[in-house]
Structure 1
Amino acid sequence: MVCALGAAVCFGTATVLQAMATRTVDTGRGGEAALFLRAVRQWRYLAGLALDGLGFLFQVAALRSVPIYAVGAALASSLAVTAVVAARLLRVRLTGTEWGAVGVVCAGLAMLGVASGTEGDRGGPAALEYAMLATAVAVLLLGLSGGRLPERGRALLLGLGAGFGFGVVEVAVRLIDSLAPSDLLANPAAYALLLGGGAAFLSLTSALQRGSVTTATAGMVIGETVGPALVGVVWLGDRTREGLAWLAVLGFLVAVAGALALARFGEVTKEVTQEGLEEAPEPADLGNVPSSADPRP
């Protein structure tokens, strides 16, 4: 659980650091690719990428030790980390309700920490690996067709797709038993992990560029927590401590609800940061470049 919380801290802090880096970049010419190349020259952006990598390692360690439902809720709490760090570094003014949501997330995670048992010891049905791979392909197709989806509901659909993609990563980590190259090449879960992470990021990027940040992030939180949690309980044997199933369910719901209340911090864009930037030395203009709201591979 400590690893899961460490991953949330890494991901949430990385979002803010990358947002700060993009604020200092001249938009200039050359499109989004050129803007990204200018951003990666900033030390804050590179530090954010390093935190993304460290967070992924923490995520893998957590998924090998505690149930998926606990890890998923903890990762969703990275929005609370982003909110707190943004309030400090980006001068974003959090409302009383948002501070309350941060407290709700912490309370939910505390309940999960008390109630969570160890990870399940079942490998699931043989078809589960192929189901994860098929889901990853579906998310990829969804992300590639983002611009052709109906405008109404597009952000929510793409956000849900991104959540499912990140959920594939969570489940696939549990389905990989051996890291030997020959075993990885023969395991569909390994391909699902790589394809699911890339497809999820593509879908999330499209969602944030083409629709409401809050709607897209809310869809992502739901997609990456509920589905993987059910897979872990039904097929992988995830359980709670004896007699504390009710506390685990309550903690999960409370943590996810708190994260949804902080969904606007899923992407630290100009609209989010503008509230508190009057005192900043430079104006914020992040354009449409994502700050890797949930950059997990």
Structure 2
Amino acid sequence: MTVTGMSLVVAVPAAVAGAACMGLASAAQARATKEVETGKPLDLTLFKRLVGRPLWLIGIAATILGLLLQLVALAFGPLLLVQPLLVTSLMFAGLASARLERRRPDRTMSVGGLLCVAGLAAFLVIARPSGNSETLVSGGALLPLGIALAVLTLASLVVAASTNSGSWRVLGLAVATGVLYGLTAGLMKVVAGQFRLGIDEPFRHWTLYLVCVVGPLGFLLSQNTFQQGRFLTPALAVITALDPLVGVAIGLSWMGESADGRPLALFGEALSGLVIVVGIALLSTRASHLSAESEMPPAEEETASEESGERPDSGPDDGYGLAGTAC
């Protein structure tokens, strides 16, 4: 069915508010992971070192609130609408990181975040998502996308665990995190629909139990990703881009949702996607530049700041977090 006006009134604000909570959570958790000893990739003991740290607990509270808001949004709107709105968490994460560090947000980072949001808004206007199914297809129809997501996740984890390159390690963790987050969102859409049938209905189906496995695993990977890198925004951009992409794929393949498929609309959707990619590339390139500057001797760093027209004492901020990978 077509998405109604009332559904949009509930779904859009809930999704954006959830993205704001997720952005705050990412910034707080990323900084908290830098306050404990760095372990190996896929470190299962990281939680033990983080428990009790106020900033991490704030991040946990923001994550729970964000998930609840996302669940509300998914209960009223299709995955094709709700999941792309998560890209706005990039902007909120950048602002939260700057606030935590008591620095002004970096202008280039801000432009990259705005490009992501602008591309997202254009995509939603052009695509006009429709359909709001709360049930999955059954049998063999689940296999093609399911196998593809499993292979991508496993391959990313193998890269993260086997490489000596910090950038590739963070990229592998970020890709796996984004896939698991998108899968969790798709399954949560189904669980939200089951809750509307009765409080005990979700416990009768396998989707809730899979969410209880995939969701925490994705969260564990996100915390490892935050700790392994230097800057928050670039790898968070990978996560928040893959999350809605996987969600959209699940909506189209597993739940019968649809978007405008006319040639002109497809061109506009592709162009909107390109704007999002440019925004992510800008964020990544800028973070790589900042990472290089942070390793310069003080005199060279001052010269680089003067050449870029920035004051050394008010340098750009991206907060703690993820490595500046060009991804």
The answer, yes or no, to whether TM exceeds 0.5 is yes
Over 3 Å counting, the alpha-carbon distance change for 1:33 and 1:169 in structure 2 is closer
Equivalent position amino acid for 2:138 in 1: A
Matched ranges for 1:60-99 at <5 A = 60-99=71-110
Q: Which runs of 5 or more residues in structure 2 are unaligned?
A: 1-11, 38-44, 296-300, 302-310, 323-327
Residue 250 of structure 2 aligns with an amino acid whose one-letter code is V
Alpha-carbon contact 1:221-1:259 (below 8 Å) kept: no
Structure 1 unaligned spans of 5+: 280-284, 292-297
User: Relative to total residues, which structure has the larger helix share, 1 or 2?
Assistant: 2
User: What is the correspondence of 1:188-267 to structure 2 with a 5 Å cutoff?
Assistant: 188-210=206-228, 216-240=235-259, 245-246=265-266, 247-255=268-276, 257-259=278-280, 261-262=282-283
Is the Cα–Cα contact under 8 Å of residues 92 and 273 in structure 1 kept in the other structure?
Answer: no
Larger mean CA deviation between 202-211 and 223-232 belongs to 202-211
- Give the equivalent residue in structure 1 for 2:26: 15
Partner of 1:166: 181
TM-aligned CA deviation for residue 168 of structure 1: 1.0
* CA-CA distance at 1:241 after TM superposition: 6.3
Q: Deviations over 1:273-296 (max 9, x none)?
A: 9999968xxxxx97xxx79xxxxx
Residue equivalent to 1:295: none
In structure 1, the partner of 2:3 is none
Tell me the alpha carbon deviations over residues 132-151 of structure 1, each in whole angstroms, 9 at most, x when there is no partner.
98889879978987874233
1:126 aligns with 2:138: yes
TM-score, normalised relative to structure 2: 0.64
Match in the other structure for 2:172:
157
Shift of 1:10: 1.0
Q: Contact between 1:162 and 1:200, CA under 8 Å: does it hold in 2?
A: yes
- 1:103 and 2:103 equivalent? no
Helix, strand or coil for the counterpart of 1:121? coil
Counterpart Cα distance in 1 of 2:294 and 2:65 = 26
Q: Equivalents in 2 of 1:26, 1:124: separation in Å?
A: 41
CA RMSD of the aligned region, Å? 4.4
Instruction: Tell me the SS of whatever aligns to 1:125.
Output: coil
Q: Deviations over 1:184-232 (max 9, x none)?
A: 2332211221211111122233344445766744543343232321221
Output the CA distance in 1 between the equivalents of 2:312 and 2:63: 26
Aligned to 2:6: none
Which residue in the other structure is 2:298 paired with? Answer: none
CA offsets 1:90-146 (integer angstroms, 9 cap, x no match): 234544432211221231233244343344337342136788988898799789878
Change (3 A) 1:258 1:139: same
Identity %: 23
Alignment of 1:272-283 (within 5 A): none
Q: Secondary structure at the match of 1:77?
A: helix
Name which of structure 1's ranges 132-141 and 71-80 shifts more when overlaid on structure 2. 132-141
C-alpha displacement of 1:49 = 2.6
Paired residues of 1:117 and 1:239 also in contact (CA < 8 A)? yes
Moved more, 91-100 or 141-150: 141-150
Count of residues in Structure 1 that have an aligned counterpart in Structure 2 = 274
TM-score with structure 1 length normalisation? 0.69
Give 1:264 shift. Answer: 9.2
Q: Is the 8 A contact 2:21 2:62 kept in 1?
A: yes
Over 3 Å counting, the alpha-carbon distance change for 1:107 and 1:144 in structure 2 is: closer
* AA partner of residue 229 (structure 1): V
Deviation by residue 1:58-111 (Cα, 9 ceiling, x = unmatched): 111222333323323221321211112323442345444322112212312332
